[in-house]
Amino acid sequence: MKGKVWLIGAGPGDLGLFTIKGREILQQAEVVVYDRLVGESILNLIPREAECIDVGKRARNHTVPQEQINQILLKKAQQGKRVVRLKGGDPFLFGRGGEELELLAEKEIPFEIVPGVTSAFAVPAYNGIPVTHRHFASSVHVITGHKKKDQPLQLDYEALVRLGGTLVFLMGGAAIQIICEGLLAAGMRSDMPAAVLQQGTCAAQKKIISDIKNLPIKITKQELQTPAIFMVGEVCRLGNEFAWYEKMPLFGEKILVTRPKERSGTISCKLRSLGAEVLELPAIRTELIAGNKRLEEVFARLFHYDYLVFTSPAGVKLFFEELKDQKRDIRSIGTARIAAIGMGTKKELEARGLICELMPEIYDGEHLGILLGETCKAGERILIPRAEQGSAQIIAEIEKRVQVEITDLPIYRTIYEKPSELVDEKKQIEQGKIHMAVFTSASTVRGFAKATQGLNYETVQAVCIGRQTQEAAKELGMKTIVSQKATIDSLVEACVKAAQQECKKDEKS
């Protein structure tokens, strides 16, 4: 049985620029062959069970020769696998995509091409530079600046000067001085605007705008970071006037989100919308306790309870999924009043058509317990389906205030996730490349610690959703900032505040 190969362009790095089709196919892959230029947030989309092969091509250091990459794709497809060849940018723009298809076509292996957003246009756009403009350039020309080892760069500089449009050089970081000298010698005026755009669409994005005469001097004064795009043309002068990305409140911030994978989307999306580069490291996942006889017994007498109390969105989701699996519907809960610990849990209930009648102003177990203790009548019955290691505080606060019958029912356990080997978050924190980590519960703090053993946690800026989460982070020695409310919007605001505080420190130093 023959498999199939999908040649997918991953775009310039920003997850938001990865195509919908590319994402859908990647998440069904059995084998992924990927390059160095693929964004880390995109690598984190690869299914855990997929075989990952790093062919990490770098300038002058091809870890795996092109011919061997071609053979890998062929071999895996002949094994009947769904193979994704994941490449930065667009696979057909200096990506050697055509070479990789020749052998597949010869051997009659089916394949598809999924174009990617090319860095040639996306990176200038993120730096406020339009590659064409009616008053400055009516054409754009994309040129490879890559040269073979120990060989001169073969470019027709006179032809490039005559073109008169915008020149975009990809993979030309090491040859910028040579290209500038060649263009000047071919007659380009010395004050022609030029720019180097480094690590575009990511947190480390940086630009240097000058002219072709002085640009090489400026680059030597500032260490050039790759990948970098080199541009020449009148449009480069617009980079400062049209700058937009660096004006966003979280520009330059690389933020680690530790929330469970199924619940990380909302906060990650909000952080990205403010300019942050987001890496997701799901520190925990929730798992229904299998063969839970107590749960079956409770389901048989749900009408018995006066209150149903939920302490997490996961508890709501798993409780009602199991109710359905046991061939019972929503009517089983009878007239029980419903309480939730916070807004996320309340929304999960509302998604099932259930109205939350009780929710504390401060979203934690202590205040939920106080609210219930002050609301319930003596002798009433309360069911609390929650995590296996739930805090005892909620029950203690109820019992201080009223004599009731409480069924504390563990229905799920928290599992600490093993980190992906594709992205080394621990190393990036140590190198200062990740600027803060977001925690939505004490368990995510503990899961993060388990995933990053040996890390000096005093270097971690923790943004925490509540007091209990903050206390767990402080126990490890982390620097902490806590959101004013236990909501995602307030947590995002805390991230902005942390970024502003760090910016003020940098200005003082």
Catalytically active residues are 35, 57
The C-alpha atoms of residue 273 and residue 271 are separated, in whole angstroms, by: 5
Any alpha helices (H) in 130-170, and if so which ranges? 157-163
Distance CA(309)–CA(408), nearest Å, equals 10
Burial of 133: CB neighbours in 10 Å, binned 0-12, 13-18, 19+: middle
β-pair partners for 144: 170
d(CA 49, CA 60): 32
Question: How far separated are the first and last CA of the chain, in Å rounded?
Answer: 63
Distance CA 278, CA 281 (A): 10
Q: Under 8 Å CB-to-CB from 320, ≥6 apart: which residues? A: 330, 352
Residue 70 DSSP SS3? helix
What is the dihedral angle through the alpha carbons of 364, 370, 376, 381, rounded to the nearest 10 degrees? Answer: 60
Collect all residues with Cβ–Cβ distance below 8 Å to 233 and sequence separation of at least 6: 136, 137, 165, 166, 167, 192, 193, 194
Residues in the chain: 509
CA distance linking residue 125 with residue 244, whole number of Å = 9
- Between vectors from CA 480 to CA 476 and to CA 486, what angle results, nearest 5°? 110
